[in-house]
Structure 1
């Protein structure tokens, strides 16, 4: 588990930018996740040396294998991704098969919506591991439908060692009507879920506790600023999900491990 990390920037901007915060890493890591819009004076310094190749960025894996004839704009995730492909990837990487389907379906859907983005399902898998161990943090389980239960909640964002974000959802998502808490396998702040929430399983609802919905929301969010094909563009996108170099490196390392696990040779 990563060392405990916090940022004072959330406290400084808690009222002005609370509505744009993305999420919070799982409780032991205490990783505050902010949208780039939350931090207008912060950017990844161009002069900072990039980390070693081993934790550089997410290399392009073999593409997710879509079911023939499936329409990414309509099909639920479970019907979009080839089951045998997902089982093979799960065996090679250790990612739960149901999570593989969610990440791959989000990749396919965004590739259909924004072909130039090139996000790669391994990037989503890297984030999913760092945020919640693919929906298994704290004894939670990911069932065959894609729902994570019990809910995975980050700590109360009350300013005590973490950022301070007053309640934005009346407790409807996080069960707290005083302070926000990050929710689900990809740890979305409630107000950000209101803006970016997606319906990846095509059931008519947007639920941050459902891995199909959360993965698609994360993919669309990361792709919002353009193609991720270069190292710098990829790192800048993940930086907006969580503005910490260690976080970016952890996601890159895990994403590259997954890519190597399924790459020929």
Structure 2
């Protein structure tokens, strides 16, 4: 596999089977509060509530829109502490995947766990998601220049990361441009697949995870999260976050 998903920060860089992984400082801090046991309980996959199935399909990379129930979203955001705009993106992606790939079984809380670890739901470094779903200021990982991290020369002409020499991980789900070129999705139906936009990034992440196979068993769930970042401790932390969100609404 070419390209990668990369974490913000600079603690450790490795390359495994062509997947570059950077473990960030924020992730290391989260590890101090999460279980380190590889047997962490796999989360129950929760489903969001929709007010309507789908609307008019888009074109190109666009996806049929699913409307998340606003009352459900408000209650769930209040119970979990997830920013409403981020929660709506995770829920919409889960509902779309339920229609596209029902056998996958991904839950919104799994995507929320991933979003927490990757960028604190778009809040890394003092950013915040605006109403359109873009973090302000934009979230960028360090230059992947081989200096303590994987070396990934520019693959997008600086389109997404603003760097024409080296790639950077981009946006709330931290996609590398090369990976985005293959997995990019248009979750908000505006005709553009943008890794900076939370609906697009959440849908792309959901499809990426489901490509690893059904997430309905502990082994399948762990394999999918491991495909996003090749560290068992990372898988454990996503599970811990997803379980916390499940418990908050139970």
TM-score tier after normalising by the smaller chain length: 0.7 to 0.9
Kept in 1, the 8 Å contact 2:212–2:227? The answer is: no
Kept in 1, the 8 Å contact 2:10–2:148? The answer is: no
2:150 corresponds in structure 1 to 163
Kept in 1, the 8 Å contact 2:10–2:142? The answer is: no
2:241 corresponds in structure 1 to 254
Deviation, structure 1 residue 246: 1.1
Residues 31 and 106 of structure 1: CA distance in aligned 2, closer, same or farther (over 3 Å):
farther
Kept in 2, the 8 Å contact 1:147–1:209? The answer is: yes
Residue correspondence of structure 1 range 65-144 to structure 2 within 5 A: 65-71=49-55, 80-144=67-131
Residue correspondence of structure 1 range 226-245 to structure 2 within 5 A: 226-245=213-232
Deviation, structure 1 residue 132: 0.3
Please give the alpha-carbon distance, in whole angstroms, between the structure 2 residues aligned to 1:31 and 1:21. 14
Number of residue pairs aligned between Structure 1 and Structure 2: 230
Please give the alpha-carbon distance, in whole angstroms, between the structure 2 residues aligned to 1:233 and 1:126. 16
Residues 72 and 103 of structure 1: CA distance in aligned 2, closer, same or farther (over 3 Å):
farther
Q: Deviations over 1:102-150 (max 9, x none)?
A: 0000000011000100010111100100010000101111011211122
Please give the alpha-carbon distance, in whole angstroms, between the structure 1 residues aligned to 2:3 and 2:238. 19
Kept in 2, the 8 Å contact 1:167–1:179? The answer is: yes
Q: Deviations over 1:160-189 (max 9, x none)?
A: 111111111111110111111000000000
Unaligned runs of 5+ in 1: 1-16, 40-49
Q: Deviations over 1:202-230 (max 9, x none)?
A: 00101111100000000001001321100
Residues 119 and 137 of structure 1: CA distance in aligned 2, closer, same or farther (over 3 Å):
same
Please give the alpha-carbon distance, in whole angstroms, between the structure 1 residues aligned to 2:245 and 2:127. 22
Q: TM-score, normalised by structure 2?
A: 0.85
Unaligned runs of 5+ in 2: 20-36
Kept in 1, the 8 Å contact 2:13–2:150? The answer is: no
Partner of 1:23, secondary structure, is coil
Partner of 1:67, secondary structure, is strand
Coordinate RMSD, CA, aligned:
2.2
| Displaced runs of 4 or more, over 3 A | 28-32, 69-77
Please give the alpha-carbon distance, in whole angstroms, between the structure 2 residues aligned to 1:30 and 1:76. 39
| Larger proportion of strand | 2
Partner of 1:24, secondary structure, is coil
Residues 152 and 60 of structure 1: CA distance in aligned 2, closer, same or farther (over 3 Å):
same
